Structure 1
């Protein structure tokens, strides 16, 4: 396998692990150790980690290596606010109109809450012709994926909230959709501290 192909494979495998939350928040991601589990040398693993750092899926510091992001309550609150702002921009100019329901946007597995959220957010983003906005939402979806399981643990109503967003999106009820997006993210922000506590191991440092 060519070096470029190896790096792509390592990148996608490592990205999937990080988004699933396979590594505890704050855990140092050592390229040499990861290389053993990824059947690759340390060089493509290090290259993949640099790429993931650029996407903000991994934290990195000069001469201090890489680690799984250790998100604070304030940082998660900012991420929720950014999500709401992007989605509102994506819906700018959309006006209510009687439409035939479009295909359901949510994930095919009703147990997969993270994919339900991801599918709905991507579908809203694709309403916008702005490619930068669509890319920003795609990155946000990936960065927030790891917290979705904790959201479901903390708030049993979050699945029905996403289903309601999905229904308004399918029927083109844009005013109602904007209101539900606002409520969804406000509730997420109110519960951000509990979500962070749910994903942070008790022995993890705070900084």
Structure 2
């Protein structure tokens, strides 16, 4: 029996937000009973939400072993970064105007700020499928983005610069800045995958 939408949607949103902000490390086991208790709902909407996230490749399910945050190796992480960059390059071919929302800093961490910034850039294309793909890749990158400041210098300043370029720079300058952003993370893929994996527990 499926959960009612008024319970399922907030449960799904809460779990997806935790993935986006890197609340769980790469490989973390997600116990439905514990999550239901934390969210104050029954186990059914949690399981339904987790299965929905499995369908979106944001959560991994193994028969007999339950649900986990996907555990990326270095090669898979680099492939995800390449895909993320390609989505932004496609978006910058669009003719739409950038409408940057207020990008928050602080309490929700670098993952949310980065997702909102690049999501606003992707929206230039005016393509709902591209928007969804960007949002999906942002959630999958959440466990890694949380640790960027440990592996890279001046991450906030880097985002400041990209945000400023997005507001008034030619598209070619934006493409170069986005390329540099991704190359830094590809160069530090080994460190970022280790940091994203460290601290994983069975809770």
For 1:107, the equivalent position in structure 2 comes to 103
Q: In terms of Rg, which structure is larger?
A: 1
Structure 2 segments unaligned to the other structure (5+ residues):
none
- For residues 117-196 of structure 1, the aligned pairs below 5 Å read 117-196=114-193
Q: CA RMSD in A?
A: 2.7
Q: How far off its partner does 1:110 sit?
A: 6.1
- Number of aligned positions between the proteins: 199
1:177/1:39 CA distance change after superposition, 3 Å: same
Q: Secondary structure at the match of 1:127?
A: helix
SS of residue in 2 equivalent to 1:126:
helix
Instruction: Structure 1: state its 5+ residue gaps.
Output: none
Show CA shifts across 1:5-49 (max 9, x none): 222232222223333333343232222333232222222111010
**TM norm structure 1:** 0.83
Q: Could you tell me how far 1:94 is from its partner in structure 2?
A: 5.2
Q: CA deviation at 1:166?
A: 1.3
- What displacement does 1:71 show? 1.8
CA displacement, residues 170-194 of structure 1 (integer Å, 9 cap, x when unaligned): 0042111111111110111111111
- Between the two structures, name the one with larger relative contact order (CA 8 Å, sep ≥ 6): 2
